[in-house]
């Protein structure tokens, strides 16, 4: 249903690293992308947008 699709979309958009290992890996990729120290990049979507140049 449309409601299920919207729920899934929101869950994916807000997904973030939730364990120590995932946070370390996320930080590693953020640093590789030139975003070390950025506090505004918190979700996997944010990281992708930043890495691909759509988030400044």
What is the mean predicted confidence (pLDDT) over 14-33?
A: 98
Q: Tokens 């930043």 sit at which residue?
A: 50
Does residue 20 register a pLDDT over 90?
Answer: yes
Which helix (H) or strand (E) covers residue 14, if one does? none
Contacts of 33 (CB under 8 A, 6+ apart): 47, 50, 51
pLDDT category at 14 given cuts 50, 70, 90 is very high
CA distance 26 to 16: 9
CA distance 8 to 32: 29
Q: Are 10 and 16 in contact (CB under 8 A)?
A: no
The model's pTM is 0.83
């Amino acid at each position: 249903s449309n409601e299920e699709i919207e729920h899934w979309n929101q869950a994916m958009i807000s997904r973030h690293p939730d364990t120590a290992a995932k946070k370390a890996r996320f930080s590693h990729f953020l640093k590789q992308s030139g975003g070390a120290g950025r506090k505004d990049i918190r979700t996997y979507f944010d990281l992708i947008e930043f890495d691909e140049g759509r988030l400044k």
